[in-house]
Amino acid sequence: MSTSPAVAATVTPDRTNPPIRPITDMLAWFGELGFFIVRVVRAAFTPPFQFSEFIRQLDEVGAKSLPLVALAGSAIGVVLALEARYSLVRFGAKALLPSAIVFAVVTEMSPIITGLVVSGRVGAGIGAELAAMKVTEQIDAIEASAVDPYKLLAVTRIAACMVALPLLTLAGSFCGVLMGWVSATLVEPISLARFLNAGFAGAGFKDFLPPTLKTAVYGLIIGTISTFQGMRAKGGAVGVGGAATTSVVLSSLFVILADVLLVKIILLLFP
């Protein structure tokens, strides 16, 4: 039985024009993000400044994330102490255990873990909060009241993330080094002063300051992505959930990519 040309055209896939919708969607997303960043930068340098809202967001981002960051840092310190001892003993380098723990925690593990922990907690919170305000038209009401929503909602949250991330990283590094010492001294007693002297021997500010300050870039990424996703949400409750999810996923992804680039830049600038 023969098939008519019209039917054949409906059932035969067109392989000459591959779908490009995902590519165009991605380019459109980056375009919207670029316009969003321009408006945020313009609002950030235009008075008046929302200092009270900034302090409130600093408490939300920093103080309320501290217990989780401290717990994550402590777990990292314990795990590194156990794994590093096992490896160093095999190669007869047990004396390098304090240095291995301190350098691993402070230079890389604490910054990236803090960035991922904050992107999970804060990114989801900011994305869901702003998305709920968007779908219930609260952001439109703020704009109708002659208040710049980018200044009030976006700039304050981004600035709070940039300030809080280095401070949280210091707290995570402190907990990681302290619990690394506790884990090490339970196996072979060593005083805290001796552990710290051995761990920081031969190290300077250039070894620890850049890895800590690079987390301000993580804060910029987390704050920007989460506020952008929240303020562009649509579709009611489904849009709120989608904004929270995409905020966490995209923030974590861009934090990991930024970590790769920043490590290379730091190694070039501070050999």
5 inside domain: no
Cα separation values, 245 from 51, 94, 126, 177, 260, Å: 29, 44, 11, 32, 23
- Distance separating alpha carbons of residues 255 and 271, to the nearest angstrom: 23
14 inside domain: no
Whether residue 7 is predicted with pLDDT greater than 50 in this model: the reply is: no
* Sign of the CA dihedral with 138 first, then 140, 144, and 145 last: positive
Query: What confidence tens digit (pLDDT) does each residue in 163-173 have?
Result: 999 999 999 99
pLDDT confidence bin for 18, thresholds 50/70/90: low
Q: Which of 45-49, 112-116, 204-208, 224-228 has the lowest mean pLDDT?
A: 204-208
- Distance separating alpha carbons of residues 48 and 45, to the nearest angstrom: 9
pLDDT reported for residue 19: 61
Alpha helix stretches (DSSP H) within the chain? 5-11, 21-44, 51-58, 66-90, 97-104, 110-135, 138-144, 149, 156-187, 192-199, 205-213, 215-231, 236-269
38 inside domain: no
With CA atoms as reference, report the closest residue to 76 among 200, 218, 182: 182
The pLDDT of 12-29, averaged and rounded, is 68
CB burial of residue 7 (10 Å; 0-12, 13-18, 19+): exposed
Domain span at 153: 48-269
Number of domains in the chain: 1
Whether residue 75 is predicted with pLDDT greater than 70 in this model: the reply is: yes
Whether residue 130 is predicted with pLDDT greater than 60 in this model: the reply is: yes
Whether residue 94 is predicted with pLDDT greater than 80 in this model: the reply is: no
Write the DSSP string, 138-185.
Answer: HHHHHHHTT--HIIIIIIHHHHHHHHHHHHHHHHHHHHHHHHHHHHHH
The pLDDT of 137-143, averaged and rounded, is 85
pLDDT reported for residue 175: 93
Note whether 188 and 237 are within 8 A (CB). no
26 inside domain: no
Tell me which range, 5-9, 94-98, 257-261, 267-271, is most confidently predicted by mean pLDDT: 257-261
- Distance separating alpha carbons of residues 163 and 252, to the nearest angstrom: 18
244 vs 5, more confident? 244
- Distance separating alpha carbons of residues 46 and 155, to the nearest angstrom: 11
pLDDT confidence bin for 23, thresholds 50/70/90: confident
pLDDT confidence bin for 9, thresholds 50/70/90: very low
- Distance separating alpha carbons of residues 232 and 215, to the nearest angstrom: 26
What's the mean pLDDT when you consider all of the chain?
85
The pLDDT of 25-45, averaged and rounded, is 89
21 inside domain: no
97 inside domain: yes
Q: Which residues have a Cβ under 8 Å from the Cβ of 169 and sit 6 or more positions away?
A: 69, 110, 111, 114, 212, 215
93 inside domain: yes
19 inside domain: no
Q: 270 — phi, psi (to 5°)? A: -125, 70
Whether residue 197 is predicted with pLDDT greater than 60 in this model: the reply is: yes
